[in-house]
Chains A and B, each alone.
Chain A
Amino acid sequence: MAVKSDNRLGCGRDIDDVWSRTDQAPTVHESHCSHCQAARHSLSDLNDATQQLKSQDVQDPALHLPSELLNKVTSIARAEVRRGNRIPLHRPNQTQEPTLTISEQAIATVIRHASDQLPGIEASRCTARTDEDTPGSAQTPVTIAVELYVSVSATSPIPDQITELRTKIIDALHTEIGLDAATIDVFVQDLHDA
C-alpha cells in the first residue's frame, strides 16, 4: 500500500475516505484498485485489533474504577455542572484577573433564600450573569443581571408581590454577597393558591 505524505494513496484517494467506508461494500473504483484494496485490508485488520483491545480493556478488572472513586467523580462532576459560571466578586482593576469569584449557584441560593421569606412567592429557575456594562473594580461593586422564574400567590396583586420580591433580592445580593443587581427580570410562570 503506497501512501503519500499527505495521506493520499497511490491512486490519489484520501486514506481517510477509505477508512470511513471499511464497514461498507467496496466502490467500483475500490474493487479494481490495488492501492485501495490493500488499504481496506490493512485498515480492516487495524479495526479488528482495536475492537479486541477495547473488549479486553472492558473486561480487565485492573482498569475498573473502584465504585467509591467512581461515585466521587460523578458527584463532583454533577456539582460542577450545577455551580454554573463563576462571577467575579472583586477585581483589583478592570484589566487584571479577579481575585474573588462566586458561583452562579451560590448567587441563586441567596436569591432563593430571599424569595422563600416572602409567603406568596415560590422561586424556581434562577440565573445570574455579570452585567458587562459595569464590570466592577476595586472601588465599585460588581453588578449582575438576574433572571428569576416564580410562581406567585393568586390572592395578592402580582405587581405588589414582584416589587417586594425585587427589593428583597436587591438587599440580599448587596448585604449577603456584596454584589449589586443592574437588572432583575422576574418571570411569573404560574399562579398558586396561598
Chain B
Amino acid sequence: MPKQPDSAPTDTVQSNDTSLPSDLAQAILSIEGVIRLEPSMRDLFRKADPRRGSKRDRRENLDGINVTTIGNITDVSVDVAIAGAYQALATGQHIHDTIQAVLHTYPLEPGHTMVNVLTIEYDE
C-alpha cells in the first residue's frame, strides 16, 4: 500500500537564502516521497527569456520551479520526480498545500499553483 506523506505542511520555512524559489525548493524537497525537482525545456527557455526580471512581469526560477509574479499575484509551477512507494495524487496535493503555505509567508497573493509529476521511480 503506497504511503501517504505527513498531512500538515509547515507554517514557516527557515532558510538562509530568502528568495522565494529557494524557499519553495527547500520545502518541497523535504516532503516525503519527493525525490527531486525535474528540469525541463521550459526552464532552459525561461533562462534565455529577455523579459525575465522586468518590473512589470517578474519571473524567478530554479530548475523545476517557475515563479511568475504580476503585480502582487504569484503563479507557481513545479515539476517533480516522486518515489513509487508514495501515491502521486496525495504527494502532489501535499506539494500544492506546501507551496500555498510558503507563499503565505511572503507578502504575495497566491495565483495559480500547478504541480506536475513528471517521473515516478521505484526502488528495485
Q: Which residue of B lies closest to A179 (CB)?
A: B89
B116 interface hit (Cβ, 8 Å): yes
User: A83 contacts which chain B residues (CB < 8 A)?
Assistant: 118-119
A115 at the interface (CB under 8 A from B): no
Q: Give chain B residues whose Cβ lies under 8 Å from the Cβ of A72.
A: 39
Of all chain A residues, which has the CB nearest B121? A109
Chain B residue nearest to A110 (CB atoms) is B120
Give A90 to B120 CA distance when docked, in angstroms: 17
User: Is the CB–CB distance between B39 and A106 below 8 Å?
Assistant: no
Q: In this assembly, does A20 line the interface, its C-beta being within 8 Å of a C-beta of chain B?
A: no
Closest Cβ of chain A to B51, distance in Å, is: 21
CA distance A86 to B93 in the complex (A): 16
Tally of contact residues, A, Cβ under 8 A: 28
Q: Which of A38-46, A96-104, A182-190 is the interface stretch? A: A96-104
Q: Which of B44, B84, B89 has the most CB of A within 10 A?
A: B89
Closest to B85 in A: A176
Contact with A101, one of B44, B117, B121, B122 (Cβ below 8 angstroms): B117
Return the contact of A76 from the options B39, B89, B122 (Cβ within 8 A): B39
Taking a contact as CB atoms closer than 8 A, the residue among B2, B38, B87, B112 that contacts A97 in the complex is: B112
Q: Are B120 and A100 in contact (CB under 8 A)?
A: no
Judge whether A154 is part of the interface by a CB distance below 8 angstroms: no
Contact of B92 with A90 in the complex, beta carbons under 8 Å = yes
| CB within 8 Å of B: which A169-194 residues | 175-179
Q: Could you write out 15 A-B pairs with CB less than 8 Å apart?
A: A76-B44, A83-B118, A86-B116, A100-B92, A100-B115, A103-B116, A103-B117, A105-B119, A106-B119, A109-B119, A109-B122, A110-B120, A176-B2, A177-B120, A178-B88
Q: Using a CB–CB distance below 8 Å, which chain B residues touch chain A?
A: 1-2, 38-41, 43-44, 84, 87-90, 92-93, 96, 112-122
**What's the least CB distance linking A144 to chain B, in Å?**
13
B14 to chain A, nearest CB (A): 26
Does A73 count as interface, using CB distance less than 8 angstroms?
yes
| Complex alpha-carbon distance, A82 and B16, angstroms | 37
Shortest distance from the beta carbon of B37 to any chain A beta carbon, whole Å: 13
In whole Å, how far is B120's beta carbon from the nearest beta carbon of chain A? 4
* B2 close to A100 (CB less than 8 A): no
Q: Least Cβ distance of B123 to chain A in Å?
A: 11
Beyond A76-B44, A109-B120, A178-B88, 10 additional pairs, beta carbon < 8 A:
A76-B41, A80-B40, A80-B41, A89-B88, A89-B89, A100-B93, A101-B114, A102-B116, A109-B84, A176-B2
A76-B44, A100-B93, A178-B87 given; A89·B117 CB < 8 A: yes
